[in-house]
Chains A and B, each alone.
Chain A
Amino acid sequence: MGSRHEIELVVNGEARRGTAPARTSLADFLRDTLGLTGTHLGCEHGVCGACTVLLDGAPVRSCIVLAVQADGHAVTTIEGVSGPDGRLSPVQEAFCQAHALQCGYCTSGMVLAAQALLDECPHPGRAEIDEALGGNICRCTGYVQIREAVEQAARAIGSAPAEPVAEEAVAHD
């Protein structure tokens, strides 16, 4: 018989807990146990990037991380990217402006991968954008507008008055 585990983690800034069988992926835990269905599953073996979330600030594929492995850690999902009032983040805003999505299936993963890039590297060049998002597959857009959205978001963040969150990210470097 498989084991069950008590899992405590911080999701989008909020302490959450649940129990799950050991075999539960982080993606299924987020979707089925916590009801956060913004994390999408495409391939479930690590190749498409749809399920990308941030684990302690760094992008990972939640289909090939066990929920237990995230015990005690912090996770950011697409639900945690926008402001509490529902205001879109600069990355989300830029995705809309640049028409960087069509069906939207890949978008949560794309936005989180882009956010992680900009947190670490506020003025990425094309090569850096391609490296950061190169593992995320999109069957609709053809990628050009996605790259433009990231460039646009970098400009928007760069011209906005510094927010405390952005400063913290810089201090980590």
Chain B
Amino acid sequence: MKPVDFELHRPATTDEAIALLAEHAAEAKVLAGGQSLLPLLNFRLARPDHLIDLGRIAGLAQLRRTQDELVVGAMVRQAQAERSPAVAAHAPLLAAAFPNIAHPPIRNRGTVGGSLAHADPAAELPAVARALDAVFVAAGPRGRREITSRDFFRANLMTDLEADELLVEIRFSRAAPHTGADFQEVGRRRGDFALVGAAAQVTVDDGLLSDVRICLTGVAQTPHRAVEAEDLLTGHAPDPALLARAADAIRDTIDPSGDLHATAGYRRDVAGVLMTRAVTGAHRRATETAAEAA
């Protein structure tokens, strides 16, 4: 239960980190909050020769707002973003997801970028990023590039980042007024990675749903954007009959696998239930914000 010996580097700037990564890429791992990586090291499932700790790069731990975007630095701690009024106001789905991640002590260390770069198909933040069409900014020896959330998640624990690239920030479009969000999931124990989760964010326009965004965790190798359900719901009020059709559309399009914890059939079925709850919750919150604003 102790990691193999490694050399630790503690760069002060992103450029230094990139140079170190370029030098050692094949034998190096980036260390963010360590809440996924250190368990892997303790088990010796990962045995890097070099660890590049991003913890001293102040520029990566900033949350900022621009005219149309909320920009989250990769090293922003999950607990920090969870408490941020800017996140609650401009990316309500991101705010709704945090309480579902592990337990408070883990969110005190774990970072937003770390969870996204780790790309666990059961994790909450990848589904949020996919639902909101977040843009990932990577930096490496060949410069910076932007990656869409559709392209970022490649497979189970695999992203579009090259071995010598860092995730530096994630950009979210600011939510329109009268937008609400909800995150629903089921798991065996509180705080565990969920079996299945549903992220939903909606905007309410004259009582009708617009800009419906739904993404599921735990039903595929990467976050599953439920486009069919989004299309069915857009432009309508979320009444029970329509939600039932949207849930059926989800059950018809997903192909989850079964394991020790839950059968494929259970996951398929519960995905529809969770989507219904999440859209209902998101709609309620959007209506409340609309009422507060009026």
Query: Residues of A with Cβ closer than 8 Å to B?
Result: 1-3, 5, 21-23, 25, 28, 44-46, 49, 52, 55, 58-61, 63-66, 68-69, 113, 130-132, 134-135
Contacts and interface: CB of A to CB of B under 8 A. Distances in A.
B43 A68 contact: no
Contacts of B105: 49, 52, 58-61, 113, 135
Contact of B6 (A2, A49, A69): A2
Given A23-B41, A45-B42, A66-B34, A135 B106 contact: yes
Given A60-B109, A61-B105, A135-B106, A3 B190 contact: no
A36 B49 CA distance: 30
Nearest to B3: A23
Interface of B: 1-8, 10, 31, 34-35, 38-39, 41-43, 51, 53, 55, 79, 99, 102-106, 108-109, 190-191
A23 B6 CA distance: 7
B104 A44 contact: no
Given A1-B7, A60-B108, A60-B109, A134 B34 contact: no
Contacts of A23: 2-6, 41
Contacts of A45: 1, 38-39, 42-43
A2 B7 contact: yes
A135 B104 contact: yes
A132 B1 CA distance: 26
A131 B101 CA distance: 12
B42 A63 contact: yes
Given A21-B5, A46-B106, A61-B106, 12 more contacts: A25-B42, A45-B38, A61-B105, A64-B109, A66-B8, A68-B8, A68-B10, A68-B53, A130-B190, A132-B104, A135-B104, A135-B106
A88 to B, nearest CB: 23
Given A61-B106, A131-B104, A22 B7 contact: yes
Nearest to A2: B5
A134 B43 CA distance: 24
Contacts of A69: 34, 53, 55
Residue in B2, B41, B103 whose Cβ sees the most chain A Cβ within 10 Å: B103
Contacts of A64: 34-35, 38-39, 42, 109
Nearest to B38: A64
B43 A46 contact: no
A112 to B, nearest CB: 9
Nearest to B105: A59
Nearest to A71: B10
B123 to A, nearest CB: 15
A93 B191 CA distance: 28
A73 B108 CA distance: 14
Which 8 A-B pairs give the minimum distances between C-beta atoms?
A135-B103, A2-B5, A22-B8, A45-B39, A64-B38, A59-B105, A44-B1, A23-B3
